[in-house]
Amino acid sequence: MKYVRGLGVALLTFIVGVAVAPIKFYEEGSGRGKVIDGGGNFAVTVYTSSYFIKLWFAHESYVSPEKANEVFNQRLSQAVKVIEVGPKINGEGAVVGRRVMALFFSPELSCYYTEILWTDGRILHYIFSTSALHATQFEKRQR
């Protein structure tokens, strides 16, 4: 009984520590290139969190806001489940585009992942991770 109580205290301590410790993100690498369909550029940065969860943050620029919205809609049509949808609000409180948080499935990796994507004029932004919590926490820091 004494060991069970000790294990319970250790588990509770761990859970409280995780709950109050903020997630930190460490840049692991980045890359740039050309968007094949749409005539723009892309940039992607890979992060690892303090909980050893990977996260990708990418931007794609297109020739027009209409093209960015077209790609947004195409990407959204591939979602397994839409979790949130609405306008994207910038730091000043102005609407700059559309935003969605959705669940996707990767057959190559055999896993589900969360993706937050939004438009800002002719730029499409993506945050994706196997952890929805990590994706939302990272997005909050981008404002």
Residue 18's pLDDT is 60
Count CB neighbours of 96 within 10 A.
16
CB 56 within 8 A of CB 120: no
Residue 15's pLDDT is 67
Residue 78's pLDDT is 96
Residue 66's pLDDT is 94
Going by DSSP bridges, is the β-strand pair 54-61/123-129 parallel, antiparallel, or unpaired? antiparallel
Q: Please give the angle made by the CA atoms of 94, 42 and 37, to the nearest 5 degrees.
A: 100
76 backbone φψ class: left, alpha, beta (φ>0; ψ -120 to 50): alpha
Give me the residues of the chain with pLDDT under 50, please: none
CATH hierarchy code of domain 23-141: 3.40.1000.20
Residue 16's pLDDT is 67
Residues 2-43 have pLDDT tens digits of 666 777 776 666 666 666 678 999 999 999 988 776 667 899
Any idea where the domains of the chain sit in the sequence? 23-141
- In eight-state DSSP terms, residue 8 is H
